[in-house]
Amino acid sequence: MMKSISTIAGVILIGFGLYFGWVNGVANGAKVVYCDPRYSITASKADEYYAIRPLTDHAFLLAMIHVVVNEELYNKKFVAEQTIGFDELKQRVQKYTPEWAAPITEISADTIRRIAREMAAKAPSVFVYAPRRLTRSSNDLGTGLSITILNTLFGVWDRKGGIFSPIVFKVPEPELPEFEHAHIAKRLDTGGDFNYAIPNVPLEHIADEHGKFHRADGAGVPGRWPIANAQYGLTNKMWEAMADQKPYPIKMLLTAGGNGFLNSTNYDVIRKALMNLDFYVAADVIPNEMNMYADILLPEASYLERYDDLQIGGAREGYVAVRMPAMKPLHETRGSWDICKQIADRVGLGAYFPHDSIEELLDARLKNVGSSLAEIEEKGIIKVARDDKKNFPGEHGQMSQFPTPSGKAELIPSPLKMMGFDDALDYEEQVRPNEDEFHFTFGRIGFHTHARTQDNIWTAEFMRENELWIHPDAAKKRGIQHGERVKVTDRKGRTEEIKAKVTPRIRKDSVFMVHGFGHFDPRMTTAYNQGASDCNLASQAEDPRVGSTSMGQSLVKVAKA
């Protein structure tokens, strides 16, 4: 079960990112503590800001847990009734004192203790927020786990001002024939909806006992990346599988959006993977570095000209919404559903597309829940009303539901133990720059979406190219002036050129650039050669337990271009 954040009051500890849901909470008097190596816009809205040393969030969180456990600041009733594993947790965090964390994180021991105490005083109307993109250190799993542990110790689940249970509008999937190639690895019979599988099965076992193939990327596959989400997969591992043609050859690719080059960290692997294909069909609305490799490029109708799949969501209220066309598609373009269906019909997979049109499919799904396409087109959105008892069962004396084998919040999760991955709780030393190097960091900006808006003349107007944030002391040492072009080079010798933004809003040992720039296909006439690509500098290392890319481990040198 996913839980969501409610923004009412109390101390909020925002970790590491851009997130606007809490702004309502701030208006209601909530306090925000924010950590980032860079003084971002988010930092400017926070009550307290700490320029944490990159990649050390886990150390900070472990010290917080240490204080909460040792000073008995946790929610005793919640921990006694709704959790397991407290004694083991207590013993395992003994070494993570605030004094231990201070030189690692560069946040003082007194500060860590004070934040822990202030939060405890306001619990359960508090939370530690996990950023969306937690792919940075060598142990992202441990960072995520520590965030969950803190929230659990404060008993924030299903409490007002804490983290609530969303109400979801349930719309069943259409009934389709069973897939010939079941890609989801065998799951442990835990009674819950789990994504992990039995570990330690040799790599050769790429098919299950029914001869069905496992996913090539290894997500959810025994012996490979059992914890990785087998529904979304591991894109980095998919590209590697395609480049190496292992564990089995992949010869055809169909994409509808996405840009492998500008959303990953290894141009060579992407290029090799694409070159290995016999046949690549891309459906898109604009050219990009990846789809220009396609044998056939199908123009998709734009979002103003098409229906898309139902948007089914849940927050305080559940909802279902639909994107509908505002005009007929121009130039014979089609929606990606039509594109997929028509390809499926021609390659003998038509049985998976039993509906004649996307309208028919959407209508059939909505009729299943007592609505219709006509109704939703008229109303735009259909909601299930918020219900305090469902959002906040904890406020009504009810136990929370946790999707764990024990049904309780597991402070040391038993599935991780079973797989031998519970060592993720322990802190791992992170890479540190030499005297002449920097931590390489990057992130979002309000004006742009990923790598898809830089070639749009209107959004490019707001920000045409990205810049390298560098501290004035570090710039001075290298004779770099604000606005001058610099060369950024990583330890592998990869290099990008970019304009310097000399600013005290970043740590002296770190540089930063906005993600999504540095396009290199000349057919992107506006974005071509503008700014630099974080994808060509971010680390290719991976979290050894999850298989995801640990993008933040890159160390770079900066010199005048």
Ligand X SMILES: Nc1nc2c(c(=O)[nH]1)N[C@H]1C(S)=C(S)[C@@H](COP(=O)(O)OP(=O)(O)OC[C@H]3O[C@@H](n4cnc5c(=O)[nH]c(N)nc54)[C@H](O)[C@@H]3O)O[C@H]1N2
Binding residues for ligand X, rule: CB under 6 A, are 16-18, 35-38, 40, 52, 54-55, 57, 131-133, 136, 256-259, 262-265, 283-286, 288, 300, 303, 336, 441-444, 446, 448-452, 512, 515, 534-535, 538, 551-552
What are the CA-CA distances from residue 241 to residues 99, 218, 276 (Å)? Answer: 44, 9, 11
Minimal distance in Å, beta carbon 52 to ligand X?
5
Minimal distance in Å, beta carbon 384 to ligand X?
25
For ligand X, the closer of residues 400 and 466 by Cβ is 466
C-alpha gyration radius of the chain:
25
Minimal distance in Å, beta carbon 447 to ligand X?
7
Question: What is the distance between the alpha carbons of residues 85 and 116, in angstroms, rounded to a whole number?
Answer: 21
For ligand X, the closer of residues 74 and 127 by Cβ is 127
For ligand X, the closer of residues 190 and 255 by Cβ is 255
Dmax over CA atoms of the chain, in Å, equals 68
Minimal distance in Å, beta carbon 456 to ligand X?
10
Minimal distance in Å, beta carbon 57 to ligand X?
5
Question: What is the distance between the alpha carbons of residues 236 and 544, in angstroms, rounded to a whole number?
Answer: 13
Contacts of 465 by beta carbon, 8 Å cutoff, 6+ apart: 498, 499, 517, 530, 531
What distance, in Å, lies between the first and last C-alpha atoms of the chain? 51
Helix (H, G, I), strand (E, B) or coil at 506: strand
From the number of C-beta atoms within 10 Å of its C-beta (0-12, 13-18, 19+), residue 278 rates as exposed
For ligand X, the closer of residues 185 and 283 by Cβ is 283
Copy the structure tokens of residue 353. Answer: 């597309």
Peptide bond into 226 cis (omega under 30): no
Tokens 């101390």 map to which residue? Answer: 11
For ligand X, the closer of residues 180 and 295 by Cβ is 295
Q: Name the nearest CA neighbour of 217 among 298, 275, 273, 140.
A: 273
**For ligand X, which residue has the nearest CB?**
17
For ligand X, the closer of residues 195 and 466 by Cβ is 466
Minimal distance in Å, beta carbon 212 to ligand X?
28
Copy the structure tokens of residue 252. Answer: 């055809």
For ligand X, the closer of residues 82 and 135 by Cβ is 135
For ligand X, the closer of residues 158 and 289 by Cβ is 289
Question: What is the distance between the alpha carbons of residues 189 and 203, in angstroms, rounded to a whole number?
Answer: 22
Minimal distance in Å, beta carbon 205 to ligand X?
30
Question: What is the distance between the alpha carbons of residues 130 and 136, in angstroms, rounded to a whole number?
Answer: 13
Minimal distance in Å, beta carbon 239 to ligand X?
12
